[in-house]
Structure 1
Amino acid sequence: MRKLTIIIILIISSFELASGQGLYSPGSPQDDGRFASSTKQVNQFFRRFNGEESADGSKRYYDTDSEYRDRTLRGKFISILFDNETSSVDGQLKADFMKEVLSENLPQYLAFHRGEWFSEVETTFIYKGKKENVTLFMKLQPEGLGYEWVVDKVNFTPFKNLFKKPEGDQKSFLHPMSHEIGFMNLRKAFQDNKLPEAYTPKEYEPDYLTLFLYEIKNGNLKFDNVLDVKFHFFQIDNWYFEVNQFNRPGFNTGWLISNLIKLKPGEKDVVQRYIYDQK
């Protein structure tokens, strides 16, 4: 079966400049003339977060360079990697995040191929003649000598509406002695019942990705357009942040952190479930 892949070229504009006071100063960072270079790819978000390029973006640093992952440079870069105009991320929360990321004893970095980050792509498809919104969750996977983006999960309202498993007294069931009659009551269950999912295990969850591919192969779903792209990161220990693209005048533009959450034990799974099923 042909692999379903989406290649997205992301071009973004420049970031707002950071204040020269300390590694992070709450409030809107000011332009000091050094951090105004355009950020052309999401990959550059990684490099700036890690301190792997010069302040003006003209040079990429490698582990043989003395400036590579310099703590002060990283602090100034990360300060401007937040949406400082429209998001409601608390200044103290940012400071706590940066303190952990920039720890002198155990600094944390982002790694493109390490996993624990994925993309949420808002698209439109034509489904049975009608334009519908489809959310694709994309992840990187190894392929040959490199990597590729693949569709990992799908969120599609028409599919979700197909499966509304009843619970409690509303749920039909097969009598525990059904085996004694050779399961002849399956006729009633599957011929007369419009909710056959009622006869599945409690842990059953529909495989929407398989349905999605099935409908594409049958010609019922046809790709139309990409509307929006965002990224979800869980790579930093006990933290989650979301990265969105902001196109607006000024320096505080491009791919910026729009949401930041300090995760307590067990909350990572809760946040992920919310992301995957929020529509």
Structure 2
Amino acid sequence: MLRLITFISLFLVESVGIYADDSYMTRDFIAQIKSVDEFVQRFNGKELHPDIVTDSTDNNESNLWSLFDYGMLGSDGAEKMDFEMIKGFISTVLSDGIQMRLNSEKVVAMAELSATVLDFSVDLSMCLQQQMIDTQRIRWAIVGVEGLFSSGIFNLDEYNVISPIQHEINFMALEDIFSLNSQDIFGYRGNQNKLDELSVFLTLARVGMVKIKDIAKVVIHRNEVPGYSFRIEECVRRGNNSGWLITGLEKLN
């Protein structure tokens, strides 16, 4: 246990240190988790952090600790990860022999992006999920979008009126509604008809009204460990605690 505490302490110091020596930069590059695939290999113990002694009795435990963003350790805020929770998480992984797969239909990614929709600049969150095409192939599929309806582009709270006598003239008002008042078209739907944000987004994209300008961040959510959900994202910085790391951990009921 003392070896593990010392290992973590060195991480906390070195991950925020500034190095001028090329050897440190080389070591930092080796320690960096440069891809999600490499994260999976580290999680499964196929690769070890370079600072871990391979013949140590607690090298698997130390290796799992090295997967956490040490900037998020602590319990003094909503965005902090609890130290004891991490210990329980690691204990479950080791005792249950949990192995992570690179591809799984349980894997969900959230992409934070900026886009132009109908000439308005909006910030959106796009949810993508891995789905099997067949027994050999897998794909990412767009399964949700958030931020489009809350952007203020559309007025979803008002319902517009089509005169109750329009049937007498073959609903001639529809011509003007669709040609002159299309910006308020959602208001002509029935009050029992709910709009699907993803369907609206994809339809606008289909007619060329969506342009993706930038993807600022990608966060991947995983739940292979029984009783826990965690997220990983890329932490770009110097030091030996960088790259794709666990930045959030939640205990499930």
TM-based fold match above 0.5: yes
Q: 2:129 matched to 1:139? A: yes
Q: Does the Cα contact within 8 Å between 2:105 and 2:132 map onto a contact in 1?
A: no
Residue by residue over 1:21-44, the C-alpha shift from the partner in whole angstroms, topping out at 9 and shown as x without a partner, is 25xx49944259999533221111
Does residue 32 of structure 2 align to residue 38 of structure 1?
Answer: yes
- 2:226 matches 1:246: no
Is the CA contact 2:32–2:240 (under 8 Å) kept in the aligned structure 1?
Answer: no
| Structure 1 residues 35-87: Cα deviation after superposition (integer angstroms, max 9, x where no partner) | 95332211111110111124449xxxxxxxxx9xx984431211111111245
Structure 1: gaps (5+ residues): 1-18, 58-66, 172-183, 265-279
Does residue 198 of structure 1 match 2:191? Answer: yes
Contact 1:241 1:257 survives alignment (8 Å): yes
- Deviation string, structure 1 residues 96-117 (Cα, Å, up to 9, x no partner): 11111110xx222211223222
1:92 and 2:84 matched: yes
Paired amino acid for 1:93: M
User: What is the aligned residue count?
Assistant: 209
The amino acid across from 1:149 in the alignment is W
Determine the C-alpha separation between the residues in 1 that align with 2:118 and 2:188: 22
Aligned Cα RMSD in Å? 3.7
Alignment of 1:1-279 (within 5 A): 21-22=3-4, 25=5, 28-30=8-10, 36-56=30-50, 72-87=58-73, 88-103=80-95, 106-143=96-133, 145-158=136-149, 162=154, 194=187, 196=189, 198-200=191-193, 206-264=195-253
Gaps of 5+ in 2: 15-23, 74-79, 160-167, 178-185
Instruction: With a CA cutoff of 8 Å and minimum separation of 6, indicate the structure with the bigger relative contact order.
Output: 2
Q: Provide the rounded CA distance (Å) in 2 between the counterparts of 1:93 and 1:77.
A: 17
Alpha-carbon contact 2:124-2:146 (below 8 Å) kept: yes
- The amino acid across from 1:125 in the alignment is A
Task: Specify the SS of the correspondent of 2:3.
Answer: coil
CA–CA distance in structure 1, aligned partners of residues 32 and 227 of structure 2: 31
Contact 1:242 1:260 in 2 (8 A): yes
User: How many angstroms apart in 2 are the aligned matches of 1:41 and 1:262?
Assistant: 25
Alpha-carbon distance in structure 2 between the residues aligned to 1:75 and 1:99? 8
One-letter identity of the residue aligned with 1:77: N
- Residue 85 of structure 1 aligns to a residue whose secondary structure is helix
Q: Which has the higher helix share?
A: 2
The residue type paired with residue 3 of structure 2 is Q
Q: What amino acid maps onto 1:79 in structure 2? A: W
- Over 3 Å counting, the alpha-carbon distance change for 1:91 and 1:121 in structure 2 is same
Distance 1:163 1:237, change over 3 A: farther
TM-score for both structures, normalised by structure 1: 0.62
* Distance (Å, rounded) in 2 between the aligned partners of 1:239 and 1:195: 44
**Structure 1 residue runs of 4 or more that deviate by more than 6 Å after TM superposition:** 32-35
Distance 1:148 1:20 in 2: 44
The CA deviation at 1:209 is 1.8
**Counterpart code for 1:219:** G
After superposition, give the CA deviation of every residue in 1:161-219 in whole Å (9 maximum; x if it has no partner).
647579xxxx9xxxxxxxxxxxx9xx9xx99x94745224xxx5x32222111101112
CA positional deviation for 1:225: 1.8
SS in 2 for 1:102: helix
Shift of residue 143 of structure 1? 3.1
Cα distance in 1 for partners of 2:49, 2:235 equals: 21
Asked whether the 8 Å contact 1:115–1:235 carries over to 2, the reply is no
Partner-residue secondary structure (3-state), 2:250:
strand
